Structures are given as structure tokens and as C-alpha cells.
Structure 1
Amino acid sequence: MTTGFALASPSRYIQGKEALASLGEHLSRLGSSPLLVADDTVWGIVDETVTESLRQEGLPVTREAFSSFATSEAVDALVETISSEGHDVVVGIGGGSSIDAAKAAGHLAGIRWVSVPTAASSDAPTSALSVIYTAAGEFLEYRFFPKNPDLVLIDTRLVADAPERFLVAGIGDALATWVEARATARGQGTTMAGGRPTRAGTALAHLSWEILWENALQALDAVRANTVTPALEAVTEANTLLSGLGFESGGLAAAHAIHNGLTAAPQTHGLSHGQKVNIGTLTQLVMEGADPEEIEDFIEFTTRVGLPTTLTEIGLTPQDTTELRAVAEASAAPGETIHNMPFPVTPDLVFDALVLLEGLSRRVRDDRGLPEPVQYTAPH
């Protein structure tokens, strides 16, 4: 077991307006037979640009449709395709499922892998791990790899044109990074990079937090107007690169463990990763006895961003004790990142904090003139 400090990062990160047009140029340095993994919706958006970019570099255009969670079965099917067709680099294009499946398949097949997110909706694209789910969408396991992606490329033109809820989700995911990293640094936990958090990893987590508090609301304005602005570029970097480096090399703690626990409640299956993580972050702040002003400011800010801060908004109530007990038990399971907290964590502690959220958030929202919580409805 590694006992020193560790920092992990992708080999190259490319971000900017119209960056997708350069994908072929970057892929040509990595291989000669790429496999592109994207669902039909994403492919309809990127097909023309990606095809032209690859053809300019003399690369074949082979796309594998992907329309499920990143399950073990889906990953194994991709490995079979890679092996039977002789691909030497796999490119996950779109959301977290396609990218996680491509990373896991690339590792198993022994080839290079590339992340091309089409929205700034999570920090997963830069990491050396995949989250594997069951076919029903319940968290199953983390899979860790000996290296990070060879390339992460994100086009902020696509980010600006993506639905607003994707950027909101990315902000929710990224806001957890500093809260979890500082807890890990105070304790004796290890990071996804395989050691104690580096000062660099912790500092990048904090930088992500600062950028989001300064730019998130303006970045959402930009997405509503389908425009690329400095605020949107800043938040895209915070959501994707800085949060990615910060969570992997700074440390995960309670927020993401509670996200994983929430997948045990069927009511939450329509929620984005970032929405569930935001509930986890707020629960962590309550569990650790954070400064009341910090908790209240977090509730106000994330409510204004459009993230849930109550059980009502994720389809639960304080009276759903069976579901909340199941969430708490899963969150505090042996080996979960919640045990990076600088104090012992039990399911009872998680359960009590979850039950508290409803009244706490409603009080703060009322005190600060914020809207009443409404149950989330998944978009069609």
C-alpha cells in the first residue's frame, strides 16, 4: 500500500470554443484505428465535426452506439469489439456513461483511451477510474486504472449549447471537491491517486471552489444564451479539469459516498450525479459540524444555481426511514470514501444528518427569500 503522497492527471487536456474540430489531429498521435463510443443523441450533434476532423488526418470513422449505464456487461462488449476489429485507441464521447465505459474497456483491452465530454456535467473525464453500475442504475463499484486518459478534449461551444441542467450538475459535482479534499487532508485517508493528498491536489480543489463561487451564476447565464463567455470557460475548467484533479489527488470523503448510497433509493434514479452529490455535500457539512454561516451560504448558493438542498427535491421525505436507513448503510459501507472523514462515521450519523436536511434547508430558504422546494421531475 502506498503511504506517500500521490498526484494523478491526464496526459493532455484541451479546452476551448470549437476544440472538437482538432480531435483528429490529437488522435493521430495516439493511434491509427480509433473506436468512437457515443449514444445516438450525442452522435447526432458531433457526427459532422468529428467525421471531418478524422478524415482530414486519414483516420477511419468507426462509431459504436452506446445507450446504457456503464455496466460490466457493456464494458465487456466494448472490449470484444475493440479486440475483434483491431482498434488501438477508444474515444468516449458524450456523458459519463460512455466515457466511463470507454475508459474501462480501453484498460481491459490494453489500448489508449480518450475522453471527449460534450457537457461540463462532471469531473469524471480526467480520472483514472470508472464508476460501474448495475443495469438498474445502482452503484456497483469503482474500477481503478494504472493511468489517466491519454487525452481529455472539451469543446466549450458544445457546453454552451447543452441543456442548462448539465452545467448545473457539473457545478454540484465540483462544489464537493474542496469540501471533501479539506476533510481528507485533516484526516488520515488516502486518495484515488493511491496515496495521501498532495498540496497541489488540495490547492486545485480549493481553486475549483473559488472559481465556481465567482462565476457559476454568470456561466449559467451564458448557457441560457448559448454563448461562450470567460465565465463559462472558467466554470468548464473548474468542473472538468480542476475538480477532476482535485477529487482524484485531493481525496473523496462523505459527499460522494452519500451519492453512492442514494442510488439505493429508487426515487433518486432520475437525478443527475451532481444533484445527488450536492445532497451529499450538504449532508457532509452537517455531519462535520461546519460553521453555520458556511452551511447556510451553501444552501443559498446551490439553491440559486438550481441544485437540490432538501429531501423533497430528490423524491424523499424525513418520514421515509426505510429508504434513508438503506442510504445511510450503503454510504457508510466498509471501504467507502466516507471513512476518509477525520472522525469515525456510522450509519446512524449519516441517517440523522439526512433527516435534518429538510427542516434546515427550508428554514434557510425561507429566511433568505428563496423558493419553496419542489420535487424534481426527470426531463423527457
Structure 2
Amino acid sequence: MSTPIRTVISPGRYVQGKGAMTHLGGYVKQIGTTALLVADDFVWGVVGDQVASDFGENGISFERVGFGRFATPAAVDALVEKITAGGVDVIVGLGGGSAIDAAKSAGHLAGIRWVSVPTVASTDAPTSALAVIYTEEGEFIEYRFFPHNPDLVLIDSQLVANAPVAFLVAGIGDALATWLEARATSRSNSLTMAGGQPTQTGTALAKLSWDIIHENAFSALDAVRDHLVTPALENLIEANTLLSGLGFESGGLAAAHAIHNGLTAAPQTHGLAHGQKVNIGSIAQLVLEGAPREEIEDFVVFTTKVGLPNTLTEIGLSIDDDAELRAVAEAACLPSDTIHNMPFEVTPELVVDALKAIERLSRSIRAEKGLAEPVLYHAPH
């Protein structure tokens, strides 16, 4: 039997800070000279003039193309055609996780370099060597894996502070799962997204993300409500983006993200942020593990105070939605998904029971701690 391979992967450079966007051209110039910028109209309205001026000063020619809501196969293929027709040597994804994932996917297929420029700290997607591909309706299709991470990840903390606080809350939900899933992957010695077994480094970075979030989340959220950049916000951005990104990719995914992928198939959850659905996966994973009551209580209290869902009600479902919950569980347990990194066998039946269990469990903890009752989520139509 061959010796297990352990590996860590990471972006070529990570840049974060207030006003970092003014340095984008200087960093991109080290990577390419003809750029395709992928950004929706809203994001371009916020940063377009600044980026255009900065790229001009650095001698970078560019074209900006708009972007829809999801990284779909068709959206990626359209970007590849743009790259091929325009002699582009670097693609820059500006905005949220899907725009960045589409840019990464197109850059890989076209054989050029790629850059991630998140304008919110809502997911850990920007740093990774993978993309999540969805249907036009937002249902999960597949992970696409690439041979390397972005050449550059740049995030301007002031843009994060200027964005609605809901984006940062979603990022916390995505990042909290990182330690829970890396811990499970370490226990089972399963393979990570990096293509090997987890290293001590990957697992430790996942735990560091968890610790920094718990220390800084509430102060950082208050700062964003006033559009201020504080040390607490800088710490939380790094935890949500860099540490969670490195931690999930080189530490391992498990049940939480697999259950998220399953939840995208339930129409009742459409419109919810990635991190909101991941948080349901996290609490369900804790139930699957038989985690200590104190750990589950702490998780429910913390996520309720942050503003994340931890009941079915808050994602538009109920314990009576047997057909939908069964479909979610079967999708989460597909042979290709990461739920099989858990240190025990997980079946759709176990997932359904865990999802149903979180309703009464979270409600009782919230009532005991004097926290708000769940509010029913209504998906937009």
C-alpha cells in the first residue's frame, strides 16, 4: 500500500486592507497585460471608475463584461469565447462568489491566469482552486477542480464595510462550517479538495478561522452597520475569506456543505445565501455526530445572535415536508459528495432525521436562552 499523500494549496498572493482596490492594477500587471473583467452592473457602478483609472495607469488594456446571478455552464462558456476572441491573458472576477467562480472556470478552460476580487466577505470561494456550478435556477450541478489556485486574491475592506451586513453574516455561516468539517475529515483521514489527506496546517487554519470568528463577529458586524473598518472587521474578513478558504480546501469538507448542496434542490430555499444554507448543514452535522449538548447549545446561541438560520422554518421548510427533505438527503448523499468524509457511514435516512431534529432542538435552546423564535422564510417567486 502506498504512503498517503498530504498536501496544502493556496493562492499565489492574498491582499487585504482598506483601499486595497487602488493597488489592483499594480498587482495584476505582474500577471498579465490584457484583462477581461467579470462584474455585474451594480459592482461595476461601485468600482468601475477606480479600476479603469488604475488599469490605465498600469498599462493594462481591459474589457468589462456583465454577469448574471449564478455560475452556470453557459455563462462560463460565453466567457471562454470572449477570452479566445480578445487575446486576453488574465481574467478578473469582481463581486460575489458566483462571478468569481465563473471567472476561474473560464480562465482554466481558456488556459490563462485568473484573479479573484471579492467585494463582499460572504463566502470562502475566492481563494480556492475549485468552482461551484449551478443551474439558472440556482440548483447545484457540480464542483469543478483546477490545477492551481488564483494567482491573486485582493479584497478591499472598505467595500466589505460599505456592503449590507447580511453579506458578512452569510460569510460567517460559510466559514463556521470549515472547522466542523475539517475536524470530521481529520478524524476519518479522508481526502480533501486539495487532492490528498489533510495536513496539520490545513486543520489548524480551519480551527483558527473558527476562533477568530467567535472573538470578532459581533464587533465586526457592528462596525459594518456604520460602514467602518476596524481591527475586528479586518480579522473577520480574513477568517471568512482566507482562513476559511484554506481550511475548507486543505482541511476537508464533510456533511455541512453536502447538505447545503442538497438544499439547493428544494424550491422553498431559493433566494437564501450560500452561508445561510451551509449553517443548516452545520447544525445537522452536529446532530449526525451526536455532538455534546453544550457544543450544540453554543452553536445555536451564537448563530441565532449573529442572524443565521438554525431551524427548518427559517429556510422555508418544515418537518412535514417529507418529500422535499428526502430529496435533499438523497442529493446530499450522492456518491460524489463530501458527506462521505464523515468518520462513519451516512445514509439519506440519517440526514432526514437530523434535519427534522434541528427544528425542535434549536427552538428549545432558543426559548431556554430567551432568544427570538424562528420566522418562516418565504422564497421569492
Pick the TM interval, shorter chain: over 0.9
Residue 362 of structure 2: aligned partner: 361
Residue 244 of structure 1: aligned partner: 245
Q: Secondary structure at the match of 1:121?
A: coil
Cα deviation for residue 376 of structure 1 reads 3.0
Partners of 2:325 and 2:218 in 1: CA distance: 32
Partners of 1:171 and 1:112 in 2: CA distance: 29
Residue 126 of structure 1: aligned partner: 127
Corresponding position: 1:201 with 2:202: yes
Q: What amino acid is the match of 2:241?
A: T
Matches within 5 A, 1:71-110: 71-110=72-111
Partners of 2:90 and 2:326 in 1: CA distance: 43
Q: Secondary structure at the match of 1:92?
A: strand
Matches within 5 A, 1:257-296: 257-296=258-297
Cα deviation for residue 134 of structure 1 reads 1.0
Corresponding position: 1:187 with 2:192: no
Aligned 8 A contact 2:276 2:309 in 1 = yes
Q: Secondary structure at the match of 2:94?
A: strand
Partners of 2:143 and 2:125 in 1: CA distance: 12
CA deviation profile, 1:123-169 (whole Å, cap 9, x unmatched)? 00000000001111100000000000000000000000001100000
Residue 300 of structure 1: aligned partner: 301
Partners of 2:325 and 2:113 in 1: CA distance: 41
Q: What amino acid is the match of 1:25?
A: G
Aligned 8 A contact 1:118 1:158 in 2 = yes
Partners of 1:94 and 1:361 in 2: CA distance: 33
Partners of 1:52 and 1:232 in 2: CA distance: 28
Matches within 5 A, 1:135-214: 135-214=136-215
Partners of 2:178 and 2:69 in 1: CA distance: 27
Aligned 8 A contact 1:192 1:251 in 2 = yes
TM-score (norm 2): 0.98
Aligned 8 A contact 2:92 2:117 in 1 = yes
Q: What amino acid is the match of 1:353?
A: A
Residue 332 of structure 1: aligned partner: 333
Aligned 8 A contact 1:68 1:74 in 2 = no
Residue 35 of structure 1: aligned partner: 36
Q: Secondary structure at the match of 1:61?
A: strand
Aligned 8 A contact 1:329 1:347 in 2 = yes
Partners of 1:342 and 1:352 in 2: CA distance: 18
Q: Secondary structure at the match of 2:343?
A: coil
Between stretches 178-187 and 65-74, larger displacement belongs to: 65-74
Cα deviation for residue 62 of structure 1 reads 1.2
TM-score (norm 1): 0.98
Q: Secondary structure at the match of 1:141?
A: strand
Q: Secondary structure at the match of 1:146?
A: coil
Q: What amino acid is the match of 2:76?
A: V
Q: Secondary structure at the match of 1:131?
A: strand
Matches within 5 A, 1:306-321: 306-321=307-322
CA deviation profile, 1:249-295 (whole Å, cap 9, x unmatched)? 00000000000000010011110000000000000000001111000
CA deviation profile, 1:307-361 (whole Å, cap 9, x unmatched)? 0010000000000011000001101111210000000000000000000111001
Partners of 1:269 and 1:128 in 2: CA distance: 26
Q: What amino acid is the match of 1:361?
A: S
Partners of 1:158 and 1:271 in 2: CA distance: 22
**Structure 1 outlier segments of 4+, above 6 Å:** none
Distance change (3 Å), C-alpha of 1:28 and 1:2:
farther
Q: Secondary structure at the match of 1:210?
A: helix
CA deviation profile, 1:207-259 (whole Å, cap 9, x unmatched)? 00000000001110010010000000000000000000000000000000000
Q: Report how many residues are paired.
A: 380
Distance change (3 Å), C-alpha of 1:7 and 1:157:
same
Q: Secondary structure at the match of 2:61?
A: coil
Partners of 1:301 and 1:270 in 2: CA distance: 23
Residue 112 of structure 2: aligned partner: 111
Distance change (3 Å), C-alpha of 1:170 and 1:55:
same
Distance change (3 Å), C-alpha of 1:124 and 1:146:
same
Aligned 8 A contact 1:2 1:194 in 2 = no
**Which ranges of structure 1 fall in alignment gaps of 5 or more residues?**
none
Aligned residues: percent identity? Answer: 68
Q: Secondary structure at the match of 1:217?
A: helix
